[in-house]
Structure 1
Amino acid sequence: MKKLKQIFNEVKTNSSHTPDELNQLLWQLICYSPKMPVRLQQQQLLDEAEKFTLKAKDEYFAHRDLSFTGFKWGSGKHKVLITHGWGSKAADFAEMIIALREIDDLEIIAFDAPGNGSSEGELSNLLLFIEAVNAIISNFGSPDILIGHSLGVMANVIAIRETKIKPSLLISFTPLIRLKENFEATMSAADVSRSAQDEFFKSFEAHFGKHADHYNLHDLYDFDGKHWLAYDQQDIISTYTFMEQFLNANVLIESHNYDGIGHEKMIKSLEVIGDVVSLVKELIQRV
């Protein structure tokens, strides 16, 4: 977090930077994922896991395969895959994983995406999250239950499209709906001018071959199975305006508003975790 604050402050006092220097700083501001230390309870949970390492190809930053760390609890016939959000890690789902481990016959898999948590990589991006999800599916098989938080929801949705898997249940917490608008909010918070933001998005398109507008859950979503989604109408990161539009366009999603819980705390809320446990138990009893 200290490094991200330094990058933010340097961008905010950008009057001495050339346009090219500022653009390079904006890449760091947008693509550096802060790494928070693991708490004692989280470490104890990780120590109980079976650890594994897989590779994700980083075509755009490191230009090589990056190792990422995964964790597995249990060996039941019902597979659960958890994808964390930006600036997060597998251990941030500790409370939920502990609760899910009480359910019989589950195999729970979580991971630190490249550039996040304990995994390799200086900078990260959505595509690395997707690469990691795809690598786990390739090595461990299709999950029956796919869980995601924030950016991890978008990664899961795109991975479903790319791998053609059909999980029995998709669980999403406070998904990011529009990536470009999230980038804009980050840069605006650092007092980046509109012209400098436009230059960043031009360089984004040149770098990735797609405009940032491409990464919009409205356009990417085509899941037709059971989808349970939790959001907070007061969320300032995943704003309700975009969430409402997305839900109105996808009326089969079972959505729940947990008012006032917040973006990051959604996956730690005892109320939310209780509802998820009930949902998973109900699914297992049906199959």
Structure 2
Amino acid sequence: MAKCPIGPYGHPSGRIGDLVFYMMKGQAICRTIGKPGKASLKQMANRQSMSVAMALLKPMADFIKVSFRLEAEGTVKNAHNLATSYNKKHALTGEYPNIKVDYAKVILSNGSLEMAEKFRMSKGEGGLNLSWNTDLSEYADADDILMVLVSHPTKKRASTYLNAAKRSDGRCFVALDKEWMMKEQMEVYVCLKSANEQSISDSKYLGNLNGVPESMLEKTEKAHYDTVKARFDQVAASYEKQRLDFAAGAVETKAFRHLSREYQILQEKLLHLPGKPS
């Protein structure tokens, strides 16, 4: 995408060859169209990063509209653009084709309002118990409002609470009305907004509940490790038996030398192979 400032004949509009011109938030934009050529590795990594970031943020749309509204005001970007830009840059980890979300680094708001301290979280009957320190400073008010987002990555959903409690409450209960919510992976985030919604805090990651399911890569690596380990156990049993025979005076054979070599190779491989049980 490129900006297209006013030329001697004004703004172009519509399609010219492989280019399309249009206005967006007061800016003239030019985009290419048509079938692209073969993507480079860098382009494929960028596309996967964008796809992962979009999948993360799509269920959070209602939260993001509020949490990034102030930062988006007066710019050509909208709240979703800002959230995508921040999280594509800061909240992803891994290399293509195994790029994934680092939930602890997800950013859901940026602002100068003071965040509460000493948050605590626990599972309750049908929801989550949250508590925090209610101490105030000149940069915080008792009627600041707590916003809570609970991400459910395995279901591609999120539970949004835009007015969960006041800062002065010091605690709140976040109801989760679906039975599966209390069993599936949860990633929990909070931020504070002023009562007049003219300021907001940075978001804070409260942590994970119920663990993280294995990715396809992790499952594949674990299966491969198990296969190699099973072969090593088989070779090791045979190697140890024959080694004791030779220690007792038996003549070493070519077959044993091959067995010994395979034993050493498999032993070394298992030391560095991913998928090992933690």
The two structures have a TM-score, normalised by structure 1, of 0.21
Q: Which protein, 1 or 2, shows the higher relative CO under an 8 Å CA cutoff with sep ≥ 6?
A: 1
Structure number having the greater strand percentage: 2
Structure number having the greater helix percentage: 1
The two structures have a TM-score, normalised by structure 2, of 0.21
Rg larger in 1 or in 2? 2
